[in-house]
């Protein structure tokens, strides 16, 4: 099984699009998408310096356009699974058929502009927390009023929040962990981005998505989403929700992904997959950064892609908490039990009383991701439900 990955913000490099503009029709394609995104994508991808392409309003549509432009030179009909990191989810959704390329680029332009505007409202930022015990890292973030914005797996977490809280974290890091400040505009994927989520929702409401033609994973919980309308809603919610790339990689392992192709600017996600999926789960990886890499990418797709255009359609969902509180799983449900759509599988106990947690699909309860009396946050994965269509 082959997965095609679309990278997120921070993967861009000056001039990375230059070789792609040599392909027939590429320059014209970028001019059209530039009109939709409201930025000059060709200039940003070829001549702009590091500071210019660090601008959130410019970077987000640039990354989505780059992934889609490269994918046009690939036999995507043989690709089984797509996933993207943060804004890369828009590219992945287009490659899966949920959005048109034009809709994806337009939404990336709105998302970038509105997130940049939200960043300007108050001083916030992000810091990478490398290694350390997960429980001690979580406690340190909570102590300083910070949020786990990106859970990238392989010992990498990105904390986000107020600038003074990040300074305190750097001065008092968790035992065994290293804190590295990131050069970003603000606290992405946290409550500070609420104005951007609202603005993006207003634009997304005018789009008519379609159901994905291949497996499409969601950053929200690593689930394979089979409904286009649901995926569009998740794309909007992701502006203020943590990126659970660790769960996306776990799903890839669960589904038996044997080949991974990262679209340009490639390297970041390939590195995370290489560190997280080892041993028997280690897939073959190709990083696509220039047209010179296309033969290797096409060969990977030919060897790991769909057989005769068909793969088992696997539905995979993660149940998440709808509110903050303490989790209380149903004592009568054990891993391996069959659950039905709408079945109550537990409760989140809040100060206002218990809130039901229900299954969104029928299948097997393959794994509890939270346990009795665990504190949980809104959007936190609680249980994994899987099966075949």
For residues 66 and 26, what is the distance between their CA atoms, to the nearest angstrom? 10
Is 6 part of the annotated catalytic residue set?
no
Please provide residue 62's backbone torsions phi and psi, each rounded to the nearest 5 degrees.
-60, -45
Q: For residue 315, what are the β-bridge partners? A: 387
Q: For residue 5, what are the β-bridge partners? A: 83, 262
Q: Are strands 215-216 and 81-84 parallel, antiparallel or unpaired?
A: parallel
For residues 78 and 338, what is the distance between their CA atoms, to the nearest angstrom? 32
Helices 56-71, 101-119: axis angle to 10 degrees equals 160
For residues 93 and 59, what is the distance between their CA atoms, to the nearest angstrom? 18
Is 189 part of the annotated catalytic residue set?
yes
What are the tokens at 150?
A: 């990106």
Instruction: Reduce the DSSP state of residue 159 to 3 states and report it.
Output: strand
Q: Is 309 left (phi over 0), alpha (psi -120 to 50) or beta?
A: left
User: Residue 181 CA to chain centroid, in angstroms?
Assistant: 21
> By the 8 A CB rule, do 111 and 200 touch?
yes
How does 134-148 read in b/e, with b if 16+ C-beta sit within 10 Å? eeebbebbeebebbb
For residues 240 and 189, what is the distance between their CA atoms, to the nearest angstrom? 4
Q: For residue 355, what are the β-bridge partners? A: 348
> By the 8 A CB rule, do 289 and 264 touch?
yes
Given 34, 86, 218, 226, which residue is catalytic? 86
Given 189, 226, 287, 304, which residue is catalytic? 189
Give the neighbor-by-neighbor strand order of the sheet with 156-162: 147-153, 156-162, 124-130, 178-181
Active-site residue numbers? 86, 189
């Amino acid at each position: 099984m082959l997965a095609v990955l679309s990278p997120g913000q921070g993967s861009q490099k000056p001039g990375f699009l230059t070789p792609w503009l040599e392909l027939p029709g590429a320059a014209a394609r970028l001019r059209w998408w530039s009109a939709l995104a409201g930025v000059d994508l060709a200039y940003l991808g070829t001549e702009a310096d590091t500071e210019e392409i660090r601008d959130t309003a410019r970077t987000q549509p640039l990354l989505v356009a780059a992934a889609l432009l490269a994918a046009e030179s690939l036999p995507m009909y043989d690709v089984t699974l797509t996933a993207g990191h943060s804004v890369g989810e828009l590219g992945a959704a287009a490659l899966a058929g949920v959005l048109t390329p034009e809709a994806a680029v337009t939404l990336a332009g709105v998302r970038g502009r509105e997130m940049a505007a939200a960043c300007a409202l108050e001083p916030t930022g992000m810091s990478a927390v490398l290694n350390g015990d997960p429980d001690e890292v979580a406690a340190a973030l909570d102590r300083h009023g910070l949020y786990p914005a990106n859970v990238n797996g392989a010992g990498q977490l990105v904390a986000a929040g107020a600038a003074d809280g990040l300074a305190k974290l750097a001065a008092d890091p968790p035992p065994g962990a290293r804190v590295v400040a990131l050069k970003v505009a603000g606290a992405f994927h946290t409550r500070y981005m609420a104005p951007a989520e609202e603005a993006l929702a207003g634009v997304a409401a005018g789009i008519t998505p379609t159901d994905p033609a291949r497996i499409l994973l969601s950053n929200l919980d690593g689930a394979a989403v089979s409904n286009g309308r649901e995926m569009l809603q998740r794309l909007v919610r992701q502006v203020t929700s943590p990126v659970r790339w660790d769960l996306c990689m776990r799903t890839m392992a669960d589904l038996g992904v044997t080949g991974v192709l990262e679209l340009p600017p490639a390297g970041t996600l390939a590195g995370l997959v290489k560190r997280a999926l080892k041993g028997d789960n280690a897939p073959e990886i190709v990083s696509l950064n220039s047209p010179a890499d296309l033969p290797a990418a096409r060969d990977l797709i030919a060897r790991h892609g769909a057989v005769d255009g068909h793969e088992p359609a696997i539905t995979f969902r993660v149940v998440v908490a709808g509110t903050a509180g303490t989790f209380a799983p149903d004592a009568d449900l054990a891993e391996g039990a069959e659950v039905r759509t709408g079945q109550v599988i537990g409760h989140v106990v809040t100060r206002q009383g218990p809130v039901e947690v229900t299954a969104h699909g029928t299948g097997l309860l393959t794994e509890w991701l939270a346990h009795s009396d665990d504190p949980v946050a809104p959007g936190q994965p609680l249980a994994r439900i899987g099966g075949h269509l």
